Amino acid sequence: VLGQIYESYPKFPSLHYSKGLIYVRLSNFKAAIREFEQEIKNGNPSTQNLVELGKAHLELRETDNALEYFVRAIKRSPAESEPKFQAGKANFALKRYEAAIAMYQEALKVDSGNPLIYRHMGYAYRAIGDSGNTRWAFGKYLEMEPDAADKAEIQKNL
C-alpha cells in the first residue's frame, strides 16, 4: 500500500516516516535513516521523525549523529520528554555521564512516571561512582516495575 501511495504522491506527509518505522521493526536501520532523512527533505522535520532518526543512528552506534538529532528535537519541542531521554542515552554512550544525568533529570521533569528514565539514570550514577543516587534511581525503577525482567541485576546495585 505504501508503494502505491509513493508512486502517486512521493511527498505524501509522513509516508517516509512510516516506511522508516517499518525498517526499524525489521532492524534495517540504514534504510530507516534514509527514509527519515527523506521525510525531513520533504519538509517534515517533526519531533517524532527527528527522535526516530536519532534512535536509528544510536542503534548503528553513530552516537554523535544521534545526539545531533535529539538536540534538534529538543529545540523543536522543549516540553517533550522523549528527546531528552534519548539525548541522555546518547550522552551515556559517549561516556558523558554528567550530561546524561542532566538530560534524564530534564526528562523526569516532564515524565516522572517513566521507569526507564530512572533505570538509565541509575546506570549513569553508577558510572560516576555516586552510590547513593544509584540506589535511589534503581530503587525508584523497581518501585515502578516490581516485576522487571532485569530485577535481579538491578538489585545487585541496591
**Is 138 buried (19+), middle (13-18) or exposed (0-12) by CB count in 10 A?**
buried
Tell me the average pLDDT of the chain: 92
**Is 38 buried (19+), middle (13-18) or exposed (0-12) by CB count in 10 A?**
middle
**pTM of the predicted protein model:** 0.87
Residue 144's pLDDT is what?
97
Distance from first CA to last CA of the chain, Å, rounded?
A: 50
pLDDT digits (tens, 9 = 90+) for 14-53: 788 888 999 999 999 999 999 999 999 988 889 999 999 9
What angle (nearest 5°) sits at the alpha carbon of residue 37, between those of residues 70 and 55?
35
Q: Which residue from 59, 44, 97, 53 is spatially nearest to 71, judged by alpha carbons?
A: 53
Find out whether 84 and 107 touch, Cβ atoms under 8 Å.
yes
Residue 119's CB is within 10 A of a number of other CB atoms, namely: 20
Q: What cell does 84 get?
A: 531528552
pLDDT digits (tens, 9 = 90+) for 50-81: 999 999 999 999 999 999 999 999 999 999 99
Confidence of residue 158 (pLDDT cuts 50, 70, 90): confident
Whether residue 7 has pLDDT greater than 90: no
Q: What percent of the chain has pLDDT over 90?
A: 81
Residue 43's pLDDT is what?
83
Residue 14's pLDDT is what?
74
Residue 114's pLDDT is what?
97
